[in-house]
Amino acid sequence: MAPTLYIVIPCYNEEAVLPVTAPLFLQQLTALQQADLVSDSSRILLVDDGSRDRTWEIISALAAENCAYTGISLSRNRGHQNALLAGLMEAKDRCDITISIDCDGQDDPAAMEQMVHAYLDGCEVVYGVRRSRKSDTVFKRGTARGFYRLLRGMGVDVVYDHADYRLLSAKALQALAEFQEVNLFLRGMIPLVGFKSTSVYYDRHQRLAGKTHYPLRKMLHLAFDGITSLSTKPLRMISTLGVVLALLSLLGIVWALIAGWFGQVDSWVYLAAAVCLLGSIQLICLGVIGEYVGKLYLEVKHRPRWIIGARTENEE
Ligand code: UDP
Ligand code: MG
């Protein structure tokens, strides 16, 4: 039997774009149903993230008009990642697969067909990846590249050029529900969930209407959140810095002693070397404390320690 699909769409102050894109999503859903790829009980779940404009009225009107649309409204604005997770958790017990997509029409809905095919071929997670960044400004392209490099460098496993357009099976969603963290960065969390995954490639367009909610300030915030909520590497870097500085100041002291032997060194050099050495010892101590803070941090997250992907039939 064809799987039931929920298309989950977070919407924040999108009165300008939602009336344009909602029919496009419906068109795509109908096409998938006609191709017998998804069941007739599939839906489009619109999540209003505490919008201040007419977004919720539009969602309610869509749902009243056509039962393919359903909606939930958050009590206040909680941000893209929270709104998306709220939608996914709402859908997880009602469907076999979800596809999350932004409501601004930037991501090509046509890629959903390939995603469903990948699911039918056995993948539990399918990442939508941008084919090129031609539609971006040079600045956006550069910052985006820096963003992914930085995350990877800090040990956060992310799929390059993948945002939040992805298919998740009910199995992956149940596993995601076990992650209890409050600081959400779904792009970094989904690879932690594991399971068989693949990527499909699509072209990303300009926003159809309205304006972005992610100016540079928010992008930096997201990158910082991504690193600090998924990696304790910055804490470890303190010890590394301390060790490097300690070695350098020891070298400095040795050099000053040798040069002093030949009477070529002012006394402040000894002082400077000693101050550097003390500073680096303090950094090492901070790094050691950081290690414990990092462990505590990971403990309080109460993440699942493992996720079982499959069981033999006699085990169930
Ligand atoms: N969004 C949300 N809550 C927010 C900000 C954004 O639900 O606080 C939604 C928004 O409606 C859109 C998606 O998140 O569907 C992505 O936002 P946007 O298109 O502004 O980001 P960009 O594509 O420019 O990075
Ligand atoms: Mg967008």
CA of 128 to the centre of ligand 2 (A): 14
Would the pTM count as exceeding 0.85? Answer: no
pLDDT in tens, 100-152: 999 998 899 999 999 999 999 999 999 999 887 776 778 877 888 888 888 88
CA of 157 to the centre of ligand 2 (A): 22
User: Which ligand 1 atom sits closest to the C-alpha of 12?
Assistant: 11
pLDDT in tens, 40-67: 999 999 999 999 999 999 999 999 999 9
Whose CA is closest to atom 23 on ligand 1?
212
pLDDT at 264: 75
pLDDT at 86: 94
Sheet holding 5-11, edge to edge: 69-73, 43-48, 5-11, 97-100, 162-169, 125-130, 197-202
User: Within 13 Å of residue 246, how many CA atoms lie on the same side as its CB?
Assistant: 13
**Mean pLDDT along residues 170-194:** 91
- CB-ligand 1 contact for 212 (6 Å cutoff): yes
3-state DSSP assignment of residue 105: coil
pLDDT at 265: 76
Q: What are the start-end ranges of the E strands in 107-189?
A: 125-130, 162-169
- Indicate the angle between helix axes 186-193 and 216-230, nearest 10 degrees: 30
Higher per-residue confidence, 205 vs 178: 178
Of the candidates 162, 34, 160, 171, which has an alpha carbon nearest to the alpha carbon of residue 98?
171
Whose CA is closest to atom 2 on ligand 1?
80
Of the candidates 187, 215, 10, which has an alpha carbon nearest to the alpha carbon of residue 104?
10
User: Which ligand 1 atom sits closest to the C-alpha of 13?
Assistant: 11
In this prediction, what percent of the chain has a pLDDT beyond 70? 97
pLDDT in tens, 16-28: 999 999 999 999 9
CA of 10 to the centre of ligand 2 (A): 11
